[in-house]
Amino acid sequence: MCGIAIIGSHRDNRKKIKKALSEIKHRGNHPYEYEVFKGAALGANRLAIVDEESGRQPKANEEKTIYATQNGEIFNHVKLAKRLRSLGHIIKTENDTEILPHLWEEYKEKMVH
């Protein structure tokens, strides 16, 4: 099971997210990855299941305005990625997490129905 950390702060987000992820390093079989934003940070210790080589998380949309990380597997991600590509989204990997920011961008809350 992956480990996910989210920090909501206006100070030392890089330091805080690294500390949080190091506390849960046993939750993944890959080194942790993270993104730092103004007022927040998001990161994951990934237990690789799908697309082990390019599956680093968090994943972003093309503009790097929407990020996602997950603990799970999206079984129909190939079909969803094909649909998103037909709508003009650039999906770079076969990783199931990568489609999440694009699904949100395209469908908002309806993506979960």
Q: Which residues form the domain of 103?
A: 55-113
Which domain-ending residue is among 47, 63, 79? Answer: 47
User: Cβ(47)–Cβ(24) under 8 Å?
Assistant: no
User: Cβ(89)–Cβ(104) under 8 Å?
Assistant: no
> Which is the catalytic residue, given 1, 2, 43, 108?
2
Domain check: are 66 and 101 in the same one?
A: yes
How many structural domains compose the chain?
A: 2
Nearest Cα to 66, choosing from 100, 32, 17? 100
Q: Catalytic annotation on 2?
A: yes
Domain check: are 12 and 29 in the same one?
A: yes
Q: How does pLDDT run across 67-96, given as a tens digit for each residue?
A: 999 988 899 999 999 999 999 999 999 889
Domain check: are 95 and 70 in the same one?
A: yes
Which domain-ending residue is among 9, 29, 47? Answer: 47
pTM: 0.85
Q: Name the strand (E) or helix (H) holding 48.
A: none
